A and B are shown apart, each in its own frame.
Chain A
Amino acid sequence: LDWDDIPPSSALEVISEEEAVQIIAEPLIPLQSSTLRDYVDHSETLAKLIHLGVDLSQVEKRQKAGQLLLTLDFEKDVKKILLFLKDVGIKDNQLGPFLTKNPYILGEDLEALETRVAYLKSKKFGQSEIAQMVSRAPYLLLFSVERLDNRLGFFKNELGLSVKKTKDLVIRLPRLLTGKLEPVKENLQVCQVELGFQRNEIQEIVFKTPKILTASKKRLKQTFDYLHNIMGIPHHMLTRFPQVFNSKLLRIRERHMFLAFLGRAQYDPAQPSYISLDQLVSLPDEVFCTEIAKASMKDFENFLKTL
């Protein structure tokens, strides 16, 4: 091929209508960008994901997720993972939010994902249970079989619960399997050593409110200190109503102080006009005021302003 033989075509040359129509002269897409907005109109994958309900404004904030999505081809890569997720039991309208939290799953190897689901089934987790765990802990299937196995073993040993109870715990709070284990160990230590609960009390508490394992130690200690030392609630009552540990300390404090102000702070079931701890924390403000404190919302707000 001799460069001199073919004369270069001039830009001013007249061309036919057909040729003109076929020229696509859109502005170039940027080679580098910090947001997916620049690419979304030119990528089939991104467009299809938006129609599924994936929130790209959230995805682009995560490390390398945007990059991953741009390199994937919808037909070749993404579609089969979506079908797999539907098989696992994730509903169509949940796919968008799921992928928003875990876009990385679209880059996983399909076989590895299927092996992990098979492992869970071998541990006798039911289909709907697996679906629930996966949708509530979106990173779950990114963990290798080995890691999942280690974690299940860890919880069984640390808590001393039966296999059935451990499984039930993990189904209700699958985050336990995907989170770090050190903080869980430390929280158990705190419950035993600093808060002074017996091992069987801890088992009961954890089974009723597994969130206590992932709560912040500082908050746990502060809440316990107020409940036990200032409100005078004994350990066995706290074991009966562990949901108080999930509640905000400020709420407990304000409501208790209001009740104390009205002379209604009675938490001993043996006494008349006893107020149970779960009534104290879980009722919404209006119901708490009218039913428990026997006062109006306005009284409560005025009281709050004197604190």
Chain B
Amino acid sequence: LNAAPGRAPRHQIRFLPAPGPGGGGAVELVAAQVPVLADHPLVRGPRFKKLKIGAGHRLDVKASGVFVLGIGHGNKLLTDLYNCHLSRVYTVGGLFGKATDDFSDTGNLVEKTTFDHITREKLERILAVIQGTNQKALLMYSNIDMKTQEAYELAVKGLIRPMGKSPPIITAVRCLQFALPEFHLEIHCLHETQQYLRKMVHEIGLELKSSAVCTQVRRIRDGVFTVDDAIPRTQWNLQSIQEAIQNCQLKVETELEKTLG
């Protein structure tokens, strides 16, 4: 950014004494345009010293995935997007057979259990129950009168969501892979923290009369931003970042229009 040409140094007019044309000792003032040294790049320093960068929804240290950042004026858009209360999607990895104090596979072991009795059907039954209870919470926090036609239409389109604060809500969950003792879930949620998702894995283990720890939490979607939009570290340069901002601009504007009007 700093390599782009900055503004040219100012010039100042200084009046310097010089011998007059008559050469007879008379002194004249000659106007000379002299660059102001105070504007010299080696004195002024680089044009951009700081950039205001804001972060979108939190992603804790053990998790990975899509992380949205805003630069400069983009930070305002971050706030607006937050107020849209869009959902996020994660792939969550789990491992049956043990329980730890922080629900992840790096925590201190609390207990070990058997898991041979667990089948995919049993897991999916539990997931359905979770989805059911969360659906009720979703409707409650969305503050919509369920008996109205409007509510029905919104529900059909899947547009019901709480537009204010609420505890974490799971809007959809399904099992992607099941290979004892490992399993992978895809979770769509709102107002979540990654630790809440790990706790969920732990509780699924308990419901199945066993125990489970969470091995991976990876965000694959944050609102309108997906993994395909994301820039890997190998492309963290000005060009790619500018392109990425341009590519997402339309999506962001459309969503903000739709929700906030």
**In the complex, chain A residues whose CB is within 8 Å of the CB of B147:** none
Partner of B37, one of A41, A53, A250: A41
Q: Which B residues between 234 and 260 are near A, CB-CB below 8 angstroms?
A: 234-235
Number of B interface residues at 8 Å Cβ cutoff, please give it: 22
Specify the main secondary structure of chain B where it touches its partner. Answer: mixed
CB-based contact A58/B40 at 8 Å: no
**For the complex, is B42 an interface residue (Cβ under 8 Å from A)?**
yes
Partner of B42, one of A22, A53, A250, A301: A53
Q: Can you list, as one digit per residue, whether each of A10-51 has a CB less than 8 Å from chain B (1) or not (0)?
A: 000000001001100000000000001110110000110010
A112 to B36, CA, bound (A): 37
**For the complex, is A68 an interface residue (Cβ under 8 Å from B)?**
no
CB-based contact A22/B27 at 8 Å: yes
CB-based contact B28/A40 at 8 Å: no
- Stretch of B114-122, B189-197, B225-233 that contacts chain A: B225-233
**For the complex, is B43 an interface residue (Cβ under 8 Å from A)?**
yes
Q: Can you list, as one digit per residue, whether each of B25-46 has a CB less than 8 Å from chain A (1) or not (0)?
A: 0111100000011101011111
**In the complex, chain B residues whose CB is within 8 Å of the CB of A40:** 37-38, 40, 43
Q: A21-B28, A304-B232 are in contact. Are A37 and B38 (CB under 8 A)?
A: yes
**In the complex, chain A residues whose CB is within 8 Å of the CB of B43:** 36-37, 40, 50, 56-57
CB-based contact B44/A21 at 8 Å: no
Partner of B17, one of A21, A36, A54: A21
Question: Which chain B residue has the least Cβ–Cβ distance from A303?
Answer: B232
A55 to B42, CA, bound (A): 5
A285 to B232, CA, bound (A): 13
**For the complex, is A125 an interface residue (Cβ under 8 Å from B)?**
no
Q: A40-B38, A41-B38, A301-B235 are in contact. Are A57 and B27 (CB under 8 A)?
A: no
**For the complex, is B83 an interface residue (Cβ under 8 Å from A)?**
no
**In the complex, chain A residues whose CB is within 8 Å of the CB of B46:** 57
**For the complex, is A300 an interface residue (Cβ under 8 Å from B)?**
yes
CB-based contact B38/A305 at 8 Å: no
**In the complex, chain A residues whose CB is within 8 Å of the CB of B29:** 21
**For the complex, is B64 an interface residue (Cβ under 8 Å from A)?**
yes
CB-based contact A47/B230 at 8 Å: no
CB-based contact A21/B27 at 8 Å: yes
Chain B nearest CB, measured from A22 CB (Å): 7
A47 to B235, CA, bound (A): 41
**In the complex, chain A residues whose CB is within 8 Å of the CB of B37:** 40-41, 46-47, 50
Q: Which B residues between 1 and 40 are near A, CB-CB below 8 angstroms?
A: 17, 26-29, 36-38, 40
Question: Which chain A residue has the least Cβ–Cβ distance from B39?
Answer: A37
CB-based contact B42/A37 at 8 Å: no
**For the complex, is A307 an interface residue (Cβ under 8 Å from B)?**
yes
A21 to B234, CA, bound (A): 64
CB-based contact B234/A50 at 8 Å: no
Question: Which chain B residue has the least Cβ–Cβ distance from A254?
Answer: B233
Question: Which chain A residue has the least Cβ–Cβ distance from B25?
Answer: A18
**In the complex, chain B residues whose CB is within 8 Å of the CB of A22:** 17, 27
**In the complex, chain B residues whose CB is within 8 Å of the CB of A58:** 45
CB-based contact A285/B40 at 8 Å: no
| Most-contacted residue by chain A among B17, B37, B230 (CB, 10 A) | B37
A22 to B44, CA, bound (A): 32
Chain B nearest CB, measured from A52 CB (Å): 10
Question: Which chain B residue has the least Cβ–Cβ distance from A297?
Answer: B234
CB-based contact B234/A304 at 8 Å: yes
Question: Which chain B residue has the least Cβ–Cβ distance from A39?
Answer: B38
A220 to B45, CA, bound (A): 35
CB-based contact B233/A57 at 8 Å: no
Chain B nearest CB, measured from A59 CB (Å): 9
A131 to B232, CA, bound (A): 42
Question: Which chain A residue has the least Cβ–Cβ distance from B46?
Answer: A57
Chain A nearest CB, measured from B42 CB (Å): 5
Chain A nearest CB, measured from B28 CB (Å): 7
A55 to B44, CA, bound (A): 9
13 additional contacts (CB under 8 A) given A40-B37, A58-B45: A18-B27, A21-B17, A21-B29, A22-B27, A47-B37, A50-B40, A50-B43, A53-B42, A54-B42, A56-B42, A301-B235, A305-B227, A305-B232
14 A-B residue pairings within 8 Å (CB atoms): A18-B26, A18-B27, A22-B27, A40-B38, A40-B40, A40-B43, A41-B37, A50-B42, A54-B42, A57-B43, A57-B44, A57-B45, A300-B234, A305-B230
The residues of B with any CB-CB pair to A shorter than 8 Å are: 17, 26-29, 36-38, 40, 42-46, 64, 218, 227, 230, 232-235
